[in-house]
Structure 1
Amino acid sequence: MDALDIQLNRLFDGKVVRKDLVHRIKKGTNVPTFVLEFLLARYCASDDEAEIQAGMEAVLETLNDNYVRPNESNMAQSKVATKGKYRFIDKVHVNYSEKDRRHWAALENFDSRKVAISDKFYRDHDRLLQGGLWAEVTIAYNEIEEDDYTFYIEDLRPIQLSRFNFEHYCEGRQECSRDEWMSFILRTVGLEPDKLSQRVKMHFIARLLPLVEPNFNFIELGPRGTGKSYFFSEFSPYSTLISGGQATKATLFYNNQRKKIGLVGFWDTVAFDEVGGIKVKDQDTIQIMKDFMANGRFSRGVEVIADASMAFVGNLDLSIEQIVNSEVYDLFQPLPKEFDLAVMDRFAFYLPGWEMPKNSSEFLTSSYGFITDYLAEAFHYQLKQTNRYEEVSRRIKLGSAVEGRDEKGIKKTVAAFLKILHPSAPPTDEEFEEYVSYAIEARRRVKEQMNKRKSDDEFAKINLSYFDSTGKEVIVYCPESKDAHATQNPQRKNIHADNEINSSSSTLPTHKAEHVSSELADEPYIRETLVKELTEQYFTIHYGAIGYSYETIFSPYLQGAKSIEVKDPYIRENHQIQNFVRFCEAVISIPSIKKIKLITTYGESTDVKEMSDRLNELQQSLIEMDIELELQINEKMLHENEIIIDNGWVVKIDRGLDFYQKPDSLFGIGSNNLLLRKCVETRVDIFKK
């Protein structure tokens, strides 16, 4: 251990874990990060390599014996019924039933929604009632036939934190310098700070800002493969990532039919991945989004107030040098057309994603960091319980070019940095000015793009500044655009161009398409061909999420493929075979594919003849589509779900193709369109072989 490891272990004993061990096991398992970290903290709390190796084997053995894998719910329930009770690792939700006038537990992978639970468990562990809690849970079988439940929880030991002590967290921070604390944070997310410049460290910390400051509007656009969405999908159980699809006001804000608040009422951060692909069906959605982004409230028949931050991440296809030197393009180019200037003006922070390093093992740490869930709890507590905005307002001095929304965005950014890096005490003047300068730069990046788009001078005050501790005014620039004339002094569109195009008295340049193309041709910045590169993806489909189909997940990675091999042990029951049929329908839309191979298994209770008949029907149907279906049905259990595409891509879905909840009714929404069907919590890994 280095000096930082020793200090972190001393100050936060039992709340730290070696991050390289997490990476080593994570690559071979589809288990939530905090489950792995819990087990590693239990079995690998040592510096001796032999003990660590033995601990790793114990972790793998525990996962094999006790972790309820998706699609193994029937086996798990059978274990409880035959042995009387059994201990599992699973996510437990507790819900109150008005009809029964009592609480019931629901176990996600065990796949039972009506498990009896004692009130002592959900009284001691609040999170059971607030979104669920991963735990070691002993489930027992109820022998009394008259009771209306089959299983009950005999014992429950949380894996995630069920309570958090903020005072102890602050006491540990007070014994560290700012730079030491920043290193602890970076190592917690798996990065080695010694391999990063100070500016890149600030960028990585900035990705955490929406997790700690309420109603913080954040955007990051940049190249693919820099881990933009990881912080929102894996780091905190209080954030949710919406991967493309349709954004509706009922899902995001308020469902008038059900009288229920949407995602902004349940999550600290609602993040939109691939923001350019967002489809807005109803223009009211954008109007409500504007209201919410402005002040954290909106009205849909009822007044709703919520603390959720909104984060938008996406990809830039043009080079930054091209964009900042172009009179036509700006750094908001990937945003959907519905995101007008009013939406953009509400962004407090634009992170320059093009400055982030590509994902690489070179930057991964082999040292200790906080257990991810512990730091996520600290951020959640501060978002809900602390307010540093007034402290910042008393201390900051901004220049005259800083207008209303500029000031609010800058102050919220600085307040968020204080929560992350100075949770219990104020920073020094030098540190405070570093945060102020960085926050102004991030807001100026927003304002420069709006100024390029606007035909008048509404956003022309882009020289945002602050006064340092000596009273000197400091103007802050964005490094990518400081010397770009097209960004600093953009040409204004002539609103009378159509009437004056033939008039020699017209002095303002027009922006006809022909003029633009010839102008760009004379510049040294030649527009590159926009090629959407496929990248590896690792994400979680959350429980109850909609918007996922086999087409949306697989189709981009099937291009150019000729054959596909599907390994899924659970293509046996009728609904599972129907899922496979839907998968085949998605596959045959790719004209190059000529062969599908299915490797599956059957169990003791499987009607093998019926299963074979159904698959043979599908086989004959595919022959008519000029596609060969090769079937391999084994008695021996497969332990891996994966889909291998002959173009080099591999898709691993921990539940296989059966990751949808069973529809409540054949006549309900989602019974036919998988995009509208609710999912169960599922891990998806897409990578090159």
Structure 2
Amino acid sequence: MDALDHKLNEQFPGKVVRKDLVHQIKKAANVPSFVLEFLLSKYCATDDPDEIEAGKKAVLNVIESNYVRPDEANRAQSMVHQKGRHKFIDKVHVKFYERERRHWAAMENFNSTRIAINEKFYAENEKLLEGGIWAEVKVAHNDVEDDDYAFYIEELKPIQLARFNEQQFLTGRSAFTRDEWIDVILRSVGLNPSIMDNPPPEIKAKFPSGLRLKLHFLARLIPLVQSNYNFLELGPRGTGKSYFYSEFSPYSTLLSGGQASTATLLYNNARKKVGAVGFWDNIGFDEVGNMKIKDSDTIQIMKDYMANGRFSRGQEVIASASFAFVGNIDHSVEQLVNSYQHDLFITLPKAFDLAVQDRFFFFLPGWEIPKTDQKFLTNQFGLITDYMAEAFHYLFKHNTEYFNIVNRVQLGPNVQGRDELAIRKTISGLLKIIHPDGKPSPVELDELVAYAIEGRRRVKEQMNKRKPDDEFALIDLSFVDSAGIEQIIYCPESRYATATQNPRRSAEQLVEEPEAIKRVLIDEPAQSVRPSTADELTNAEIDENAIIEITPPALTEKHVKIHYGDRGFSYETVFGAYLKGAVEVVVEDPFIRTSHQIGNFLRFCELLVKLGDCEKVTLVTWADSAEQQEKNKVLFTQLGDSLEEQGVFLTLRFSETLHDREVWLSNGWRVRLGRGLDYFQSPAGNYLQIGTNDYGLRPCLETNIDFFKS
């Protein structure tokens, strides 16, 4: 034990553990660190060597008898059948099955997905329904042969502290200096701060050391203490990026592969329940470069949530979970910062456009963190992971006192709206981790402010490279330090990279790729000037240095006459070009009331979703009777819910005085419809004929359609 170990044991008796014990036992059982330390705190809460050895044996015995490896699941199930019941340490999920109208529990290592569970367990621990939790579980065998399940959960105890005394935590922190407390935090997550102060030559030659490297590791913890925080880290493999979000805290969850849907992540319309953002302090997205979004509007709703912690899904949802996006970068950082064509966001998925990127508060340079191996692991004492997680959970819910300090920081003139929010939130997060008692010195605060600004500047530099205009050109972010001097902060990797600092290229450099020009010429014959025959195209000379400008045909006011029996007048053919750019669409048609007329309106809405510009559609119609009106309200509500899933909001109004049939578009066009949307002939009971589903092949009724520029 060194001096810091002694002080830590004095200030936090019973709340510390030898981290090398965790490393030793973890080799024998691949369970999360907070699970191991939960057991070590029960059996090894001492500094007596003999008692520690006895405690280690006890922990190993508990793991051996209660922790089941996945390949031992069959033996575990047989044991429960023979003994009647047995206690396990496992991760438990609960899922509702709509067809059966009941909940079933699943235990990962026990390898059973059909375990009966009492409602009280998932009512008291809602995280069971959103990603699952690690727990001590007593599983019993069901001897009733007529039942369709073999096991049920008799007892369930989540693995986490029952109570947390925040005043004791803050008082204990006040006994340490700033540097001592940073080392305590690093030891508590299992890292060796000593090697960061004095790294071996092979590491020192390639990576930063001292406070900067330590801040990199601490920055990974910001999403665990700062609500509604958007964090990004890209770097090489093997640096422990995902570890902080999978094993350090039971209040954080990691989505492997970044797979997520609107229902599971944000809000489930069918169940009328908030998704994961309502149950976790932090949601980590591993391998962000391979992120898959199941619902097309998930990104749009994520943008709203990342901007202000709220979104609308029929009702307004407010949550506080932070997002941590981590991923690999397989390119040379030096080449990327010196490239006019590429940037450090190169590995992000295409769905992460500038709007998403602008919502990143901090971009951690993962390439400055060395790969984690044995020498980076500590064998000293640290706070029990679960205790630290409870402290961070407390800090996560308390922001006001830290923003009082942050708001006194004077930022420079180039710091704009989102920049300021990002920087101040990062400073607040670092204060919570390093100075939870809220007492940094002026110089210490200056260091945190400079580090926070650097993380935001790294985000803004990449956006500035991607945006052809100067919207994000104010990248020289600064602050006024404690001596009253304005300090401009730079990112080390790009400070002297002209392509990053001044990415506006000359006219000579703005040349289309030859292959891109060829692709335009071949794939866009209707919109580009090109030879009219295949022979001419083959023999044509393509100017590879020319810039081909594609100009769509201009829209004009027109009259369309459709005769009885005409085909080829689908909604897309008739309206498609005029609907582009219309954010809001109003349909006035009193004859959208019967089933097939509502079906026509559904197809029109599908076209709006397909084009992707419309955000709001309003329908003004009428009904034949009060009974029909109430019935149709239900149908339009169902359609509205489906449109909401696609990011389009439906408003319905009934008007008994409405007569004319028109479509009003927010892009300035108005369409007058003689028959409204119902200008197709009915299949007359025979739905197995061409044109039943493809309206472009269905014969029409006679009607007139006029397009006006209003």
**Scaled by the length of structure 1, what TM-score is found?**
0.65
Does the C-alpha gap of structure 1 residues 115 and 449 become closer, same or farther in structure 2, counting only changes over 3 Å?
closer
Report the Cα offset of residue 515 of structure 1: 12
Q: Map of 1:575-654 to 2, 5 A cutoff?
A: none
Aligned equivalent of 1:347: 360
- Aligned-partner Cα distance in 2 for 1:255–1:150: 30
Report the Cα offset of residue 87 of structure 1: 4.2
Residues 258, 286 of structure 2: 8 Å contact kept? no
- Provide the aligned length of Structure 1 versus Structure 2: 501
- Aligned-partner Cα distance in 1 for 2:95–2:515: 63
Report the Cα offset of residue 144 of structure 1: 10
Q: Partner amino acid for 1:179?
A: D
Does the C-alpha gap of structure 1 residues 221 and 84 become closer, same or farther in structure 2, counting only changes over 3 Å?
closer
Report the Cα offset of residue 89 of structure 1: 3.4
Aligned equivalent of 1:225: 238
Question: Per-residue CA shift, 1:153-196, capped at 9, x if unaligned?
Answer: 78776642133222221121122112111111101111111111
Aligned equivalent of 1:670: none
- Aligned-partner Cα distance in 1 for 2:348–2:91: 36
Report the Cα offset of residue 346 of structure 1: 0.9
Report the Cα offset of residue 280 of structure 1: 3.9
Q: Map of 1:234-633 to 2, 5 A cutoff?
A: 234-244=247-257, 246-280=259-293, 282-388=295-401, 390-492=403-505, 509-513=509-513
Does the C-alpha gap of structure 1 residues 167 and 513 become closer, same or farther in structure 2, counting only changes over 3 Å?
same
Report the Cα offset of residue 208 of structure 1: 0.6
Question: Per-residue CA shift, 1:592-646, capped at 9, x if unaligned?
Answer: xxxxxxxxxxxxxxxxxxxxxxxxxxxxxxxxxxxxxxxxxxxxxxxxxxxxxxx
- Aligned-partner Cα distance in 1 for 2:120–2:266: 34
- Aligned-partner Cα distance in 2 for 1:72–1:171: 46
Aligned equivalent of 1:113: 115
Report the Cα offset of residue 343 of structure 1: 1.2
Residues 133, 160 of structure 1: 8 Å contact kept? no
Q: Provide the secondary structure at the position in 2 that maps to 1:466.
A: strand
Larger CA deviation: 399-408 vs 294-303? 294-303
Q: Provide the secondary structure at the position in 2 that maps to 1:267.
A: coil
Q: Provide the secondary structure at the position in 2 that maps to 1:395.
A: coil
- Aligned-partner Cα distance in 2 for 1:259–1:355: 44
Larger CA deviation: 93-102 vs 212-221? 93-102
- Aligned-partner Cα distance in 2 for 1:288–1:93: 26
- Aligned-partner Cα distance in 2 for 1:198–1:4: 18
Instruction: Let me know the Cα RMSD of the aligned residues.
Output: 3.6
Structure 1, gaps ≥5 residues long: 495-507, 517-689
Report the Cα offset of residue 259 of structure 1: 2.6
- Aligned-partner Cα distance in 1 for 2:265–2:227: 16
Q: Provide the secondary structure at the position in 2 that maps to 1:469.
A: coil
Larger CA deviation: 256-265 vs 476-485? 256-265
Report the Cα offset of residue 67 of structure 1: 2.6
Q: Provide the secondary structure at the position in 2 that maps to 1:113.
A: strand
Aligned equivalent of 1:9: 9
Residues 115, 152 of structure 2: 8 Å contact kept? no
Report the Cα offset of residue 32 of structure 1: 2.6
Q: Partner amino acid for 1:290?
A: K
Report the Cα offset of residue 133 of structure 1: 5.7
Aligned equivalent of 2:567: none
Q: Partner amino acid for 2:22?
A: V
Residues 228, 309 of structure 2: 8 Å contact kept? yes
- Aligned-partner Cα distance in 2 for 1:206–1:245: 21
Aligned equivalent of 1:37: 37
- Counterpart check, 1:166 vs 2:179: no
Question: Per-residue CA shift, 1:197-244, capped at 9, x if unaligned?
Answer: 210000000011111111111111112221111111221222222222
- Counterpart check, 1:23 vs 2:36: no
Q: Partner amino acid for 1:7?
A: K
Aligned residues with identical type, % of pairs? 61
Does the C-alpha gap of structure 1 residues 129 and 314 become closer, same or farther in structure 2, counting only changes over 3 Å?
closer
Larger CA deviation: 59-68 vs 341-350? 59-68
Report the Cα offset of residue 49 of structure 1: 4.8
Question: Per-residue CA shift, 1:417-452, capped at 9, x if unaligned?
Answer: 111112223311111111101001111111111111
Q: Partner amino acid for 1:234?
A: E
Report the Cα offset of residue 409 of structure 1: 0.3
Residues 29, 63 of structure 2: 8 Å contact kept? no
Aligned equivalent of 2:181: 181
- Aligned-partner Cα distance in 2 for 1:144–1:317: 56
- Aligned-partner Cα distance in 1 for 2:70–2:303: 39
Q: Provide the secondary structure at the position in 1 that maps to 2:283.
A: strand
Report the Cα offset of residue 96 of structure 1: 11
Does the C-alpha gap of structure 1 residues 227 and 95 become closer, same or farther in structure 2, counting only changes over 3 Å?
closer
Q: Provide the secondary structure at the position in 2 that maps to 1:244.
A: helix
Question: Per-residue CA shift, 1:303-358, capped at 9, x if unaligned?
Answer: 11111111111222221211111111111111122211111111110101110011
- Aligned-partner Cα distance in 1 for 2:126–2:98: 19
Does the C-alpha gap of structure 1 residues 136 and 223 become closer, same or farther in structure 2, counting only changes over 3 Å?
closer
Does the C-alpha gap of structure 1 residues 71 and 261 become closer, same or farther in structure 2, counting only changes over 3 Å?
farther
- Aligned-partner Cα distance in 2 for 1:106–1:282: 25
Structure with larger Rg: 2
Does the C-alpha gap of structure 1 residues 478 and 92 become closer, same or farther in structure 2, counting only changes over 3 Å?
closer
Aligned equivalent of 2:707: none
Report the Cα offset of residue 69 of structure 1: 4.2
Q: Partner amino acid for 1:395?
A: R
Q: Map of 1:651-666 to 2, 5 A cutoff?
A: none
Q: Provide the secondary structure at the position in 2 that maps to 1:235.
A: coil
Report the Cα offset of residue 151 of structure 1: 7.8
**Scaled by the length of structure 2, what TM-score is found?**
0.63
